[in-house]
């Protein structure tokens, strides 16, 4: 999901509300015993950062969320200017 002009912490709140809504909808399912969860990684783009680097940071945050127990949203560390220049 792309959230243009949105700080990472705000985007994480939006995605966490989506996560909670989906979990709540699954809990109310008539299919019995259906449980739906998801994890997400959020990264905020630094000016000049290549899309590939942004996606790699978001992907790393996703794997961190899964490693921390799943069903959560994790925000990636901000890219450093030196990383962007490389």
CA separation for the pair 69, 77 (Å, rounded): 19
pTM over 0.85: no
- pLDDT band (50, 70, 90) for residue 82: very low
Around Cβ 12, how many Cβ atoms within 10 Å?
22
Share of residues in the chain with pLDDT > 90 (%): 55
- Cβ-contact 27, 35 below 8 angstroms: yes
Give the mean pLDDT of the chain: 85
Classify residue 67 as exposed, middle or buried by CB count within 10 Å of its CB (0-12, 13-18, 19+): exposed
- On the question of pLDDT at 5 being above 70, the answer is yes
pLDDT at site 29:
60
Which pLDDT tens digit goes with each residue over 41-53?
Answer: 999 998 899 999 9
The secondary element (H helix, E strand) that includes residue 74 is strand 73-75
Residue boundaries of the structural domains of the chain: 8-85
């Amino acid at each position: 999901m792309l959230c243009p002009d949105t700080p990472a912490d705000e985007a994480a709140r939006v995605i966490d509300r989506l996560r909670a809504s989906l979990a709540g909808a699954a809990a109310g399912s008539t299919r019995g015993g259906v449980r739906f969860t998801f994890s997400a990684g959020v990264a905020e783009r630094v000016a000049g950062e290549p899309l590939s680097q942004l996606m790699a940071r978001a992907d790393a945050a996703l794997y961190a969320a899964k490693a921390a127990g799943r069903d959560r949203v994790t925000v990636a560390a901000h890219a450093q200017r030196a990383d962007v220049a490389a």
